[in-house]
Each structure stands twice: as C-alpha cells, then as structure tokens.
Amino acid sequence: MKKVPYRIYLPEDRIPRQWHNIRANMKEQHEPFLNPATGEVLKKEDLYPVFCEELVEQEFDTTHEYIDIPDEIVEFYKMYRPSPLVRAYNLEKALNTPAKIYYKFEGNNTSGSHKLNSAVAQVYYAKKQGITKLTTETGAGQWGTALAMAAKYFNMDLTVYMVKSSYYQKPYRKAVMETFGATIIPSPSDTTEAGRAILKQFPDTNGSLGCAISEAVETAFKTENCRYVLGSVLDQVILHQSVIGLEAKAAFEMIDEYPDIIIGCAGGGSNLGGLISPFMKDKLEGKHNPYFIAVEPASCPSLTRGKYAYDFCDTGKMTPLAKMYTLGCDFQPSPNHAGGLRYHGMAPIISKLYHDGYLDEARAVEQTKVFESAVLFSQVETILPAPESAHAVHVAIQEAIKCRESGESKTILFGLTGTGYFDMTAYASFHDGTMTDYIPTDEDLERGFAKLPKV
Ligand SMILES: *Cc1c(COP(=O)(O)O)cnc(C)c1O
C-alpha cells in the first residue's frame, strides 16, 4: 500500500468553489435571534444598520446547501490555501499509538489563524455594497489581525476595539494590525457610551470580548457608511469557515480514508463548525458516523457547564438575543492564555447540534495540561501551536493514548487553527512554572446565570 504523504495538498481542480451551509442539512434549526427590546423574532431589516445586506442574507439562509464563493475570494484564498492536511507521523511515533492522527493546519498566513477565511468574505461583501468603514472587536488579536489584512487588501477603513488586557500584553499584535493600516483602541474606552458605562462601573476592568463587541457595534451604528463585522459565533462565519472542512474532506477522499473522531477547539465555535460541516452532513444523512468533540478551557466552560438559554452576545447588552450555551453575558473569565476561547457563549449552530446530540461531546481541559501537549506537539511536529489550537492538540493526544491502551487504530482528525508566536508570554509562564489553572466555582457560574434575560 502506498504510504500517505506527510502533507496532503489539494490540486487546483479540487479546491472548493462553494461554501457548505450546514443549516440546510440540520433536522431542526436553532432558535431565531430575538430583539432584546421587544422580545420579537428579529427580521433581516433589523440587522441592516449593523451588517451588510449580503451577510444578513447568509445569516438567515437555512435552505441553500451550497453557496458560491465569489471569484475575488477564491483568488484571495489562493494566497494561503488550500491549507495542508497533515499526517502527524511524528506525533504518532512519540505516543506509540496505533491511531492515525491528522490535522488541518490553518496557521499558514501572516495573521496566523483560520480567521482570515471569514475576514476576507465579510470585507468583500461590505465593499461590494459601497460600505467604506468597518469596526470590530478583538480579544487575543487574531481576528483583528486577519481583518486588518483583508480590509487593507480591499482598501477599507478599520477600527478595532481590542480587549484591554490583550492590548497591553500583546503589543506586537497591535503593531501587526497597524502595519495593515488599522486603528486600535483599547476596550473599554471612553469613545463609546457602552465603554464609558462599563468604565464607570468597573474602573479597573481588564476588558472582555463581550464589552469590546458592545463598543464596536455602537460605533458601527453611529458612524456614517460603517458596518460591524464579527469573527465567530454567527452562522455566516461558520459558513465561510466550512472551507476548512470541505478541503479536509476532499483530502481524505484523495487518500481514501475517513476520520472516526473529529476534534476542534471551541471559543465562539467557528473553526469547529467549519471543520465539521461536511462531516456533520454525512452524519445527519446517515452515511458516516464520526464522533465529534468540542474542546473548551476549564476556565470558560460554556458547553460543559453553561446553560442552553437566550442571552446577549455582548456585555453591554446591545446585541440581539441568541439561544446558545452561555455562562451569562456578565461572566468575566479569569485571564487565561487562550484568549480566543474566552467567550461567554457558543455559536447557536454548535449549541443546537450539541443540545440535540449530533455533536457528541464537549470536553473542558486545564491550561497547564494543554501546554504540556503544546510543547510535545511543537517538539515532534515542528509547529508551535496557538494556545487555543493546543486545546485540540491535547484532546487528540488523549484520544490517541486511549487507542494505545485499547489497541484500536482509529483515524483522528483535529483542527490546528493557528500558530502561537504572539503567545510566548504564555509559553514562558508555562516554562517557569507560574502558569495556573483557574476553574470557576458553581457559585461563580450561578452569578452569571442569575442575570440571564428572562424570555
Ligand atoms: C479565534 C481562535 C480560535 C477560537 O475561535 P472559534 O470561533 O471558536 O474558532 C481558535 N484558534 C485560534 C488560533 C483562534 O485565533
């Protein structure tokens, strides 16, 4: 039998020309967004002041299974895609496991993560509508960086509200975004009502993703010809990220394999949603039965310990209500190092699939264990993973070790969402032993649940 190559790249004629819309395959749709003021189901028009129209169209699309990727975006993707599907031979050897481990590597662009896949799409549709300015928030900085790259490419103005703790901890992230022409404001700031209100209540706050979202949305609302863009959580983002899963599935077809276990880290749920989309279609249609695992940090356990309820997507309570697994929009996760996984909620699509049992398992893992796996992975596979990605690495290793113990040779696929070069403070604290594992108590979580909106 021919040995599977270390890196499997798709030839040009197999690269995806359409995104896959998993909603068209779902047996039941997730609950609709609600207008927080009236409690009524949100209409497309309600979102036009915030998002550009084509993206609103995609957000509401439950029927088209495939949506054409515009040529301009296909061309942009060619600068860094298709991304490789990698057979982790060295990791298998290091673990002495009979499992076959594959990962889909999304860190091969300057922003260092999968977020560019949706950033370019969102900027493109805004530009097409004649929008000239965009706002967004960024936590760890990956989304802001990806968006800055895409915005500069299409010559759009971009203002990024960056969570204050990251702003000071990650000066190089800010410098990269500035290199691509973006304006960066630490959040909470005094440039918005939402920011001023939070500062008044919590003058020493480090900021949070939810709060930065409030500021960006308010700015989009109040600025002429400006729209807001969001890097995760939304259905449209999972749609764009389906390019990851489509490429992975095509690569598996080339080598005549199919994954038994599919693992992704889950912050807002976009990389996981994109990676699993076409495989989930197979599961929903009864063609294959892969086992899906979402991995989240024990410090921000929205799927494993959250409530499935309507909640605001932001701390400032400006956004529509979404039905999702949530810790409550006031939940302030302790500052852990996987900034991109510190969101209080989870994508409605992922939440629904998990609630209905199609997404088989959510697993919460502790950060020091995650970094042990990150270091092992770096040393044998020579890619230094982002702390977020390392959550998936860790669970892939756990599953491979189970195979060693049971003697089963399962095929494992995980999403390696990005590289960790901007996270060396985190690696340094792991090496010098100052890294801690914070796990919220039930009382901590109750405080967040108590404030869930009554719907
Ligand atoms: C943002 C980010 C994540 C988490 O976001 P999702 O929307 O859950 O995918 C994971 N990995 C990296 C590298 C990120 O930048």
Q: Which ligand 1 atom lies nearest to the CA of residue 267?
A: 8
pLDDT digits (tens, 9 = 90+) for 72-100: 999 999 999 999 999 999 999 999 999 99
In angstroms, the CA 263 to CA 164 distance is 31
85-87 vs 7-8, strand pairing mode: antiparallel
> Which tens digits make up the pLDDT trace of 425-436?
999 999 999 999
- 12-70 residue pLDDT tens: 999 999 999 999 999 999 999 999 889 999 999 999 998 999 999 999 999 999 999 99
Separation between Cα atoms, residue 309 and residue 290, nearest integer Å: 27
pLDDT tens-digit profile of 374-433? 999 999 999 999 999 999 999 999 999 999 999 999 999 999 999 999 999 999 999 999
- Is the predicted pLDDT of residue 339 greater than 80, yes or no? no
Q: Which of 270, 292, 344, 422 has most ligand 1 atoms within 8 Å of its beta carbon, as the pocket-test mutant?
A: 270
Q: In b/e form, how buried is each residue of 212-244, taking b as 16+ CB within 10 angstroms? A: bbbbbbbbbeebeebbbbbbbbbbbbbbbbbbb
Instruction: Give the C-alpha separation, 147 to 118, whole Å.
Output: 9
Give me the DSSP letters along 317-367: S-SPEEEEEES-TT------S-GGG--SS--HHHHHHHHTTSS-EEEEE-H
Tokens matching residue 15: 């690269």
What is the per-residue pLDDT across 132-187, written as a single tens digit (0 to 9) for each?
999 999 988 999 999 999 999 999 999 999 999 889 988 999 999 999 999 999 99
pLDDT for res 275: 98
pLDDT-derived band at 350 (thresholds 50, 70, 90) equals very high
Task: Give the pLDDT band of residue 338 (cuts 50, 70, 90).
Answer: confident
Q: How far apart are CA 386 and CA 149, in angstroms?
A: 19
Query: What's the pLDDT at 314?
Result: 83
Question: Is the predicted pLDDT of residue 319 greater than 90, yes or no?
Answer: no
10 Cα–ligand 1 center, Å: 24
Residue 374: strand, helix, or coil: helix
List b or e across 64-77, with b for residues whose CB sees 16 or more CB atoms inside 10 angstroms: eeebebbeebbebb
Query: Considering only CA atoms, which residue is closest to atom 13 of ligand 1?
Result: 418
Answer whether residue 340 shows pLDDT above 90. Answer: no
| Domains along the sequence of the chain with CATH | 7-14+83-112+235-449 (3.40.50.1100), 18-68+114-228 (3.40.50.1100)
pLDDT for 327 = 96
Q: Kindly give the distance from the C-alpha atom of residue 193 to the centroid of ligand 1, in angstroms, as a whole number.
A: 28
Closest Cα partner for 265 from 142, 168, 396, 389? Answer: 389
Q: Give the CB-side neighbour count of residue 297, counting CA atoms within 13 A.
A: 31
Radius of gyration of the chain (CA): 20
455 pLDDT tier (thresholds 50, 70, 90)? confident
Residue 333: per-residue pLDDT: 75
Nearest-CA residue for ligand 1 atom 1 is 340
Please give the Cα distance from 194 to 215 (Å, whole number): 6
Taking only the tens place, the pLDDT of each residue in 184-202 is 999 999 999 999 999 999 9
Section 335-339 average pLDDT? 72
Q: For ligand 1, atom 10, which residue shows the shortest CA distance?
A: 388
For residue 183, give the 3-state DSSP assignment.
Answer: strand
Whose CA is closest to 216, among 332, 83, 314, 149? 314
pLDDT at 1: 61
- Taking the C-alpha atoms of residue 415 and residue 85, their distance in angstroms, rounded to an integer, is 9
* Strands 66-68 vs 133-138: parallel, antiparallel or unpaired: unpaired
Pocket of ligand 1 (CB under 6 A): 113, 115, 142, 232, 265-272, 340-341, 386, 388-389, 417-418
Q: What is the pLDDT of residue 316?
A: 76
Give pLDDT tens digits for 228-263.
999 999 999 999 999 999 999 999 999 999 999 999
Q: Measured between alpha carbons, how far is 273 from 388 in angstroms, rounded to an integer?
A: 15
Question: Which atom of ligand 1 is nearest the CA belonging to 418?
Answer: 13
- Residue located nearest, by CA, to atom 14 of ligand 1: 340
Tell me what pLDDT residue 211 has: 87
* Alpha-helix residue ranges (DSSP H) falling in 356-419: 367-381, 387-406
Pocket perturbation via mutation, ligand 1, pick of 108, 109, 142, 370 by most ligand atoms within 8 A of CB: 142
* Atom 9, ligand 1: residue with shortest CA distance: 271
pLDDT at 236: 98
Cα 135 to Cα 138, 194, 375, distances in angstroms: 10, 15, 35
Query: What pLDDT, on the 0 to 100 scale, is given for residue 166?
Result: 86
**Tens digit of pLDDT for each residue in 210-227?**
789 899 999 999 999 999
C-alpha to C-alpha distance for 437 and 439, rounded to whole angstroms: 6
